[in-house]
Amino acid sequence: MIYFGCDYYPEQWSQWLEEGEARWAEDARLMAAAGFNVVRLAEFAWGLLEPAPDQFDFAWLERAVDLLHDHGLQVVLATPTPTPPPWLLDAHPDITQVTADGRRLGPGTRREACANHPVYRERSRIISQALAAHFATRPGVIGWQTDNEFGCHDTGRCYCEHCQAGFRTWLAERYGDLDALNEAWGGAFWGETYRTWLQIPLPTHSAAQRSPSHLLDFYRFSSDSWRDFHAMEIDILRRTCPDHFVTHNLMGFFPQLNYYDLAAELDFVSWDNYHYHGATPAGVAAAHDHMWGVKERNFWVMEQQVGQVNWSAYNPVPPPDFVRLKSYQAIGHGADGVVYFRWRQALGGSEQYHSGLLNQAGRETMGYREACSIGQELARLASVLEGTEPRAQVAILLDYDSRWALQLQPHNSRLRHDPPADYSLENPALEVDRDAFHEPRYLTGRAYLAWPFSAAYTAFWERNVPVAVVAPESDLSRYKLVCAPFLNLLRPAVVENLKRYVAGGGTLVLGPRTGFKDESNRLFASPQPGPLAELAGVTVRFFDSLEPERINVLRWEQIHGARRTEIGLWAEVLDPVGAEVIATYTQDWYAGEAAITARRHEGGGHALYVGAMGGPTLYANLFDWLLRDLDVHPLIPSMPGVEVCARYGEDGRRVIFLLNHTGQVQRFTLARPVQELLSGEEFSTFVRLRPGQVAIFEDGSQFGQAL
């Protein structure tokens, strides 16, 4: 089944409205009328559930759960640990995090607590255990969300005294002795050779740059700290509520935590899908595919935007059919649950400008009316979607160690991962999407979180070729083509996995900056791409970090009819060693030098190396050349701005989703008439998609071409 519902805060409305809890029944009635079957509760309610130490008040939450259950709504409860209560912060003010510049965060909000503070951990254990035990057998409760958005608000890393002690312990366990640590960190540089573990500082703000090895290990430690905190809560829920599922709401391409590690023990991941300033349909699709790829299984959207948000650089009101598009886009990419945030716009607190399905006056919004329509449709689609999931023949590798290494040393200010929210730069290397008229759009705001993957992903997305975004240690044998756009740091296990993949006949596309560093974040003492040089049949002679105004153009030596391809910001000059040259530079003093190469291997495998940073056009030329030979075909022919995705069943079923993200009517033909599943309408061979329209068909063999 598809779980469909909303995030609800009954504790707030019983306080804010004169009618108090009496309002809950009307809310539940409206939820049921919309076709909802699930509601999330209580992720921020610690201070109400435990108003004083060890004095628990679960009665109000019981009443809310029971009322919702009486209206046919199942409940996902959350451990309320992202909001430590005032009494805890008052008694232990050092629970709050310390920033890299030594500033302690103030209390009275959310996510201010340090994962390594022993009292915070203990009190989190106590409230989680008490809540789980109380609701373990409560009718209507089907699962748990742990905490809420670990790391949100830049809280993935803390620099307090508890983290100092924890970091030293973590290092001792990782390296065993100081000689190994000093070697891994290159301690001879600037005389940073440590003689005791107590000498090792946290990498706080400093006069000069820190050792990148020191910094990378701190990033790993910080991620592991939240992983360990998370494991504590998961263990409690597993032992106490064995019949309930456990999930956590991730945040797409959020960079501070290793989601593969964080989600390892979950039943499935959820994520919070907001179309922030700078987001594009392709960018949101990429985040869905990454969330699927974290565990390589279907997921939930635990917070789906229904209107304006309150935190982006600009917050325009979404157009009609926005909720429909976003809901079905999620389902098409593998979401088995769509939960809207939030039920009603808040009267108080910091999220007053964040829209809800009802506005602040309790009136139905456009989002609620669209949700009602979706609820009716999902009831009809349930049997069609049951047991289906996305399938892909191509994959993009996302590696957190490499992301962190590039963030620490971007070597080009335009490649920073934290630009101003309204930042924009028109450069072909930062092109991420095109509109219906093929005008390029560039990175802005939070879209920067995905910049290493955007160009390659968009090229697949525009071709209606499904993609899985997975870890580099994953089983890659199921994919005909694997793209690693920025695998800057190479661990031995990853090297062996990639070699095994190519030896088995796979086609591997490596991107710029690949294999420059080892797992300790040191440079390899061999030419880039280090241990992958023989596999790729190429070495990097040198790289050029280009100023924004410097643009180069590639000449395609092996791909006839390729579109003009501009590159910028990063260019590597390649020396083939057994590889053929696919493209060369045409400008600057290294004109004529190799920019892209390919090496054929026995057994049919290929390894390509892309030394230039470019937008979707670069990868489009490359993929158009490769996919034909690999027998990888689009779901249907491409239509500008119309997304196509699919879910497959073990019984051979295929469900095709068409989503018109443009403001124009799109037309295409079918091989034969077919029934559209949402409307029940019989479509002739001519199909017309209005702006924002969604169409869903079963099987998909009837598709023809765009007009």
d(CA 412, CA 546): 8
| Residue 580 annotated as catalytic | no
Give the helix ranges, DSSP H, for 333-365: none
d(CA 453, CA 610): 14
The tokens describing 490, both together, are: 């190479």
Q: What is the dihedral of CA 618, 624, 629, 630, to 10 degrees?
A: 80
Question: Are the CB atoms for 323 and 371 separated by under 8 Å?
Answer: yes
d(CA 503, CA 507): 10
DSSP 288-315: HHHHHHHHTS-EEEEEEE-S--SSSS--
d(CA 705, CA 690): 17
The β-bridge relationship of strands 431-434 and 440-442 is antiparallel
For residues 195-225, one letter each, b for 16 or more C-beta atoms within 10 angstroms of the residue's C-beta and e for the rest, the string is eebeebbbbeeeeeebbbbbbbbbbbbbbbb
Task: Please state the φ and ψ torsions of residue 371, each to the nearest 5 degrees.
Answer: -60, -40
d(CA 453, CA 486): 8
Question: Are the CB atoms for 68 and 45 separated by under 8 Å?
Answer: no
Greatest Cα pair distance, the chain, in angstroms, is 78
Q: Find, among 594, 621, 485, the residue nearest to 537 by Cα.
A: 594
3-class secondary-structure state, position 209: coil
d(CA 286, CA 397): 12
DSSP 263-289: TTTSSS-EEEE---TT--HHHHHHHHH
DSSP run (H or E) holding 388: strand 388-389
Q: Find, among 451, 372, 467, the residue nearest to 418 by Cα.
A: 451
Task: Please state the φ and ψ torsions of residue 135, each to the nearest 5 degrees.
Answer: -110, 10
Centroid of chain to Cα 623 = 23
The β-bridge relationship of strands 38-41 and 74-78 is parallel
For residues 345-366, one letter each, b for 16 or more C-beta atoms within 10 angstroms of the residue's C-beta and e for the rest, the string is bbeeeeeeebbbbbeeeeeebb
d(CA 112, CA 104): 9
| Given the residues 11, 43, 112, 303, the one annotated as active site | 303
| Residue 557 annotated as catalytic | no
| Given the residues 11, 149, 377, 572, the one annotated as active site | 149
d(CA 560, CA 29): 62
d(CA 549, CA 571): 14
Residue 102 class from Cβ within 10 Å (0-12 exposed, 13-18 middle, 19+ buried)? exposed
Centroid of chain to Cα 11 = 30
Centroid of chain to Cα 693 = 25
Q: Find, among 341, 319, 212, 217, the residue nearest to 271 by Cα.
A: 341
Q: Find, among 82, 113, 109, the residue nearest to 97 by Cα.
A: 113
Q: Find, among 118, 67, 109, 103, the residue nearest to 85 by Cα.
A: 109
d(CA 278, CA 599): 37
d(CA 677, CA 328): 13
- Residues designated catalytic: 149, 303
